[in-house]
């Protein structure tokens, strides 16, 4: 059954609600310290959550080869659909140092 959107509050409530795809699961704490501004949030997310077919100098400012040279396994990431699965993968691949490395890089997550 669809949620009925009649007011601005209904609309905001709809977009504030996690879904099966957007729910971070046990990693909700990874959102602590994320920037609130859109440009800052985009900078924090880029290089971590990317669209495989958009990777390039003109879109993200880096190439697939550069990411693979840094140890990213792009082909392993393709099948990840939910935010919870993405965070599981990021934390597993980073040895659970993901939050620390973002703080040290100045991306505002801590």
Q: For the chain, give the DSSP string.
A: -PPP--SHHHHHHHHHS--TTT--GGGGGGGTT--SSHHHHHHHHTTTS--GGG-BTTTTSB-HHHHHHTT--HHHHTT--SHHHHHHHHHHHTTT-HHHHHHHTTSS--
pLDDT in tens, 31-88: 887 888 888 888 777 766 778 788 888 888 888 898 889 888 888 888 888 989 988 8
Q: Which two tokens stand for residue 44?
A: 């924090």
The pLDDT assigned to 7 comes to 94
The pLDDT assigned to 108 comes to 40
pLDDT in tens, 3-34: 789 999 999 988 888 899 999 989 888 888 78
pLDDT in tens, 89-102: 878 877 655 443 44
């Amino acid at each position: 059954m669809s949620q009925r959107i009649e007011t601005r509050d209904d609309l905001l409530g709809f977009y504030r609600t996690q879904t099966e795809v957007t729910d971070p699961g046990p990693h909700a704490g990874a959102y602590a310290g994320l920037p609130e501004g859109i440009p800052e949030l985009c900078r924090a997310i880029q290089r971590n959550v990317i669209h495989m077919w958009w990777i390039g100098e003109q879109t993200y400012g880096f190439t697939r080869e550069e990411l693979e040279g840094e140890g990213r396994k792009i082909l392993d990431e393709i099948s990840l659909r939910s935010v919870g699965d993405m965070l599981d993968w990021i934390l597993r691949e980073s040895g659970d140092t993901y939050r620390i490395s973002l703080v040290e890089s100045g991306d505002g997550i801590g």
